[in-house]
Amino acid sequence: MLYKMALIFCLFLGAAPVNVYPGVPSEARILGVRNWVAPDHLRFVVDIDREANFRVEKKEKEVAVVFEKAALPGELAGLKLVEKPGLKSFCLSVSSGGKVRLDLHLSDNLPVNVFKLKKFQDKPDRIVIDIDLPHPDETAGQKTTEAKADKKERVVVIDPGHGGDDPGAVGEKGTYEKDVVLSISRKIVDMLNKTEGYRASLTRNGDYYVAFKKRLAKARKNEADLFLSVHADAARNKAAQGSSVYCIAEGAASSEAARILANNENLADVIGGVPAGDQSDASDPIILNMFQTHVKNQSRTFGRILLRHMKSLNGLKFDDVQEAPFYVLKLPEIPSVLLETAYISNLREEKLLKKDAFQKEIARAVTDSIIEFLPPPLRDEEKKEAAAPAIFAYTVRRGDTLHSIAASHETTVKAIKELNKLKSPDLLYVGIKLFIPKKEMRQ
């Protein structure tokens, strides 16, 4: 009954062309509301033109955010029905005294986290409501990866950069980096999952933001053999072009360009709207100290393979792997690389990045690089062959000599004599068995 009364009340207010009650000073103006779904939560965002005072009211299957004094454009007022997991509807309304109220009607008693984000770059002040979803669905189109003591596949986690409130770089024609890299990443995962011996998954498979900590946690949970973060570069110099590859730096960046890029990419948690407590700790010395030298060398090795494959496709910005302190590469135990596929700020490369054919070429170059760096594990029959003795028996026939036997089996007389402890070739008789070394023993 209360819900029906709220519905009628909200609809009535929705028809009123009122921004704020007369004579009431406004502290903030509601600019708009947005929402999107991630696998583990539904995010609801209220954009406001300045920092605002508000309180949160929670009861069964409902949560309300009440602004003490604010202006609400008439077109935003009223009840909105939505078809989103965890949320039935929301209502924006104005009450006496200039209070603006946002009521969210949930589908169940779900955990809700409400926090504010201060204005940053082109993002206004925001109030964020995260509604936790009880049973996160596995990302569509991916093979689920379970930890196994004896892994039979190479596990790769592909990380499309940015997402949600963080569009990444934007091209002159309005192309969003977050959209391009998601499309490319999906193609990489699809190619790898169609290749025997490989299992790949995405850190995100939609237009929502995933905190750095969650991206890294997924790689660890899946026991990944490789982590690759996919991006599209941008620069003030519109002529800048080419692909580049980065791994983490233990200290200073390898170049000023790498330092600037890392600084920009590391702001993603702030732009994407991650609560302060969940953001990556840039000053955490333990993680950097943990970073093992051999893992970093593996990252650099894969990066160079990737550069070689990308060079023939698009040309390179840098001929060697660059280093910078990227938060998203802080995986001490897993080889991790960041790929800048092309410059979205370059008009020619922006056009290329939008083309499905070019995206497939990038995906193929990445897939081939991964296969070269991580050869597929041996199949059961190959394991048996590998475990078999490195020699085989040959029965001497009439007319055989050590020279003829060695020649026919692509080995040497010396190898046969040493293996069989022969002192003289005259001791060769018809019917006796000789051990012949396999190719891997023929040095």
72, part of any domain: yes
User: In this structure, are residues 353 and 175 in contact, taking their beta carbons and an 8 Å threshold?
Assistant: yes
* Judgement on whether residues 218 and 322 belong to the same structural domain of the protein: yes
* Judgement on whether residues 327 and 396 belong to the same structural domain of the protein: no
- What's the chain's average pLDDT? 79
Residue 261 has pLDDT above 90, yes or no: no
Choosing from 66, 100, 132, the residue where a domain stops is: 132
144, part of any domain: no
What phi, psi does 292 have (nearest 5°)?
A: -75, 140
Task: State the pLDDT confidence band at 6, using cuts at 50, 70 and 90.
Answer: very low
* Judgement on whether residues 273 and 347 belong to the same structural domain of the protein: yes
Mean pLDDT, range 223-236, rounded to an integer: 94
Choosing from 338, 373, 408, the residue where a domain stops is: 373
Give, in order, the Cα–Cα distances in Å from 43 to each of 29, 91, 122, 146, 275.
21, 16, 20, 28, 12
Q: Classify residue 93 by burial, with Cβ atoms within 10 Å: 0-12, 13-18, 19+.
A: buried
Side chain identity, residue 164: G
Q: Classify residue 57 by burial, with Cβ atoms within 10 Å: 0-12, 13-18, 19+.
A: exposed
- 11-25, 70-84, 230-244, 300-314: range with lowest mean pLDDT: 11-25
pLDDT digits 0-9 by tens, 365-388: 999 999 999 988 866 655 655 555
Residue 13 has a pLDDT of 41
Residue 193 has a pLDDT of 95
Residue 60 has pLDDT above 50, yes or no: yes
Residue 98 has a pLDDT of 75
What phi, psi does 104 have (nearest 5°)?
A: -110, 125
* Judgement on whether residues 125 and 159 belong to the same structural domain of the protein: no
* Judgement on whether residues 240 and 345 belong to the same structural domain of the protein: yes
For the range 216-222, what are the long-range contacts, defined as Cβ-Cβ under 8 Å and sequence gap of 24 or more? 216/328, 216/330, 216/331, 218/157, 219/157, 219/331, 219/334, 219/336, 220/331, 220/333, 220/334, 221/147, 222/145, 222/147, 222/155, 222/157
262, part of any domain: yes
Instruction: Provide the number of structural domains found in the chain.
Output: 3
Task: State the pLDDT confidence band at 286, using cuts at 50, 70 and 90.
Answer: very low
Share of the chain above pLDDT 90, in %: 31
17, part of any domain: yes
pTM to 2 decimals?
0.66
Residue 192 has a pLDDT of 96
Selection from 26, 12, 9 nearest residue 74 by Cα: 12
Residue 8 has a pLDDT of 39
Mean pLDDT, range 281-291, rounded to an integer: 46
Residue 140 has a pLDDT of 40
* Judgement on whether residues 411 and 359 belong to the same structural domain of the protein: no
* Judgement on whether residues 165 and 59 belong to the same structural domain of the protein: no
Could you tell me the residue range of the domain that residue 88 belongs to?
2-132
Task: State the pLDDT confidence band at 143, using cuts at 50, 70 and 90.
Answer: very low
Residue 117 has a pLDDT of 83
The CATH number linked to 62 is 2.60.40.3500
The CATH number linked to 431 is 3.10.350.10
User: In this structure, are residues 249 and 356 in contact, taking their beta carbons and an 8 Å threshold?
Assistant: no
Residue 301 has a pLDDT of 92
Choosing from 344, 373, 402, the residue where a domain stops is: 373
- 21-30, 197-206, 333-342: range with lowest mean pLDDT: 21-30
Residue 36 has a pLDDT of 83
User: In this structure, are residues 228 and 158 in contact, taking their beta carbons and an 8 Å threshold?
Assistant: yes
95, part of any domain: yes
Task: State the pLDDT confidence band at 135, using cuts at 50, 70 and 90.
Answer: low
* Judgement on whether residues 358 and 239 belong to the same structural domain of the protein: yes
Residue 24 has a pLDDT of 41
Task: State the pLDDT confidence band at 108, using cuts at 50, 70 and 90.
Answer: confident
64, part of any domain: yes
* Judgement on whether residues 116 and 226 belong to the same structural domain of the protein: no
* Judgement on whether residues 32 and 120 belong to the same structural domain of the protein: yes
The CATH number linked to 292 is 3.40.630.40
Structure-derived torsion over alpha carbons of residues 193, 199, 205, 209, reported in degrees to the nearest 10: -150
393, part of any domain: yes
Mean pLDDT, range 358-368, rounded to an integer: 96
* Judgement on whether residues 206 and 353 belong to the same structural domain of the protein: yes
233, part of any domain: yes
* Judgement on whether residues 127 and 164 belong to the same structural domain of the protein: no
